[in-house]
């Protein structure tokens, strides 16, 4: 995600939504000001999280969401914020 996505609780709110949806993965800050979110789970739940990622928490401003659907599941358990 790009826009105003760092310093606005974007990662932790993403973790909360993902955990409620039963998804696993991570949300990490990138050095260029973007946030990377990697999630694993059922497609319906992934699409629900994607809807959230387009808006983010109240003080965020999401300008762009880059998306890649992958068929291979990385070995990930839980949801990590980094």
Long-range CB contact pairs, 24-29, < 8 A, 24+? 24/76, 24/77, 24/78, 24/79, 25/76, 25/79, 25/80, 26/76, 26/79, 26/80, 26/81, 26/82, 27/79, 27/80, 27/81, 27/82, 28/80, 28/81, 28/82, 29/82
Catalytic-residue membership of 20: no
- Global model pTM greater than 0.75: yes
**Catalytic residue at 34?**
no
Query: Which CATH code fits 2-81?
Result: 3.30.70.100
15, 20, 29, 80: the catalytic one is 29
Which pLDDT tens digit goes with each residue over 18-48?
999 999 999 999 999 999 999 999 999 999 9
- Cα separation, 57 vs 40, whole angstroms: 21
């Amino acid at each position: 995600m790009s826009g105003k996505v760092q310093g606005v609780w974007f990662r932790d709110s993403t973790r909360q939504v993902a955990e409620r949806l039963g998804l696993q993965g991570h949300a990490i800050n990138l050095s260029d000001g973007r946030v990377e979110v990697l999630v694993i789970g059922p497609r319906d739940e992934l699409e629900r999280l994607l809807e959230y990622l387009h808006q983010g928490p109240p003080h965020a401003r999401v300008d762009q969401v880059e998306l890649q659907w992958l068929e291979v599941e990385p070995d990930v358990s839980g949801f990590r914020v980094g």
